[in-house]
Amino acid sequence: MTARLSDIAAQAGVSEATVSRVLNGKAGVATATRESVLAALDVLGYERPVRLRQRSAGLVGLITPELDNPIFPALAQVIGQALTRQGYTPVLATQTPGGSTEDELTDMLVERGVAGIIFVSGLHADTTADMSRYDRLRGKGVPYVLLNGFSPKVQAPFVSPDDRAAMVLAVTHLAALGHTRIGLAVGPKRFVPVLRKIEGFQKGMEERLGLAPEESEQLIQHSLYTLEGGQAAASALISRGCTAVVCASDMMALGAIRAARQQGLDVPRDVSVVGFDDSPLIAFTDPPLTTIRQPVQAMGQAAVRALLEEVGGTPAPHSEFVFMPELVVRGSTASAPSPARTPS
């Protein structure tokens, strides 16, 4: 169907000369005007000239852990949208128990010719992992950015929430409510975010409650980042007399609430619980969860910006971009129980 300049001009509200300049890819036309002409083409059922069709700038890989934890789909969505806006096509590669390893997923993405890769909570966060895998990837000319977890051995941009500050926020909130026995339910000790959360927790306990690190060490329980893991950790902490539990993820916090109820305790009257992430839908739990909000939007967009700078030939700083989290107070925290109600 041959485009008639007069029809397109009338539809777009511009001159035929302007339409001609847009269709021929000439400069000197405002972006808004150019978009009006292209929209008029679409409305009238004309095909856009091949040179004006939006082409994909390439594929970008996104490797995440399993998607059971709602924070990972939330991050993937932000990153995917930011990449799409820049003309890239995101390729989501998810690690599942018994499935492909991070290295296998990386090789698969490299074979597909991705322009770059964003790793979320990968092996870079594991202090026991071999970091030379990232050197090998850079040797293949594939730029990458790493979210959550930092290693000085890896020369790449990192994007993280401030885990230390997050725990100080949580402890400060609970101490202000009168809690003196505050526990921390956290993941395995080999992970960088876990070590940082412990540092922040102990700093908060010392500053707010005067507890030395060796004393607050007794109030830390390691477990898995799952509902069941949170339940097991919180059960142990409540049995040690904790009236409040700070959890390293919202999933763990839901497990902590379950643990309290199994012991016949009410949340928040007898035990206060704080989560971490502010995952989607977490405001609608019973009770609505007080949590530390990860700045997902800002972190995801920063990761994409850093990666595309590298892809474009401008190396991003090989440093860590640290984003401040936010305390979101809801219904799972309250004043410390009176001594008569404190669990033994």
Res 343: pLDDT: 47
DSSP secondary structure string, 145-156? EEES---TTS-S
Q: Under CATH, to which class is 5-52 assigned?
A: mainly alpha
Per-block mean pLDDT, blocks of 10 residues, the chain (344 long): 79 92 82 84 79 68 91 94 91 89 94 93 95 92 93 93 98 98 97 97 98 96 96 98 97 97 97 95 93 96 94 81 97 88 46
Note whether 253 and 269 are within 8 A (CB).
no
- What residue has token string 């908060």? 204
Structure tokens at 220: 């830390």
For residues 236 and 183, give the distance between their C-alpha atoms in angstroms, rounded to a whole number: 9
Structure tokens at 212: 């030395």
Note the pTM of the prediction, 2 decimals.
0.81
Res 320: pLDDT: 94
Sign of CA dihedral 189, 193, 199, 204: negative
Same fold, 58-161+295-324 and 163-294: yes
DSSP secondary structure string, 248-262? SSHHHHHHHHHHHHH
Res 273: pLDDT: 98
Q: Domain residues of the chain, as ranges?
A: 5-52, 58-161+295-324, 163-294
For 163-294, CATH gives 3.40.50.2300
Tell me the pLDDT tens digit for each residue of 99-145. Answer: 889 999 999 999 988 999 999 999 999 999 999 999 999 888 899 99
Other CB atoms within 10 A of residue 188 CB: 13
Res 50: pLDDT: 65
Burial of 328 (0-12, 13-18, 19+ CB in 10 A): middle
Give the distance from CA 98 to its chain's centroid: 23
Res 274: pLDDT: 98
Fold of 58-161+295-324: Rossmann fold (3.40.50)
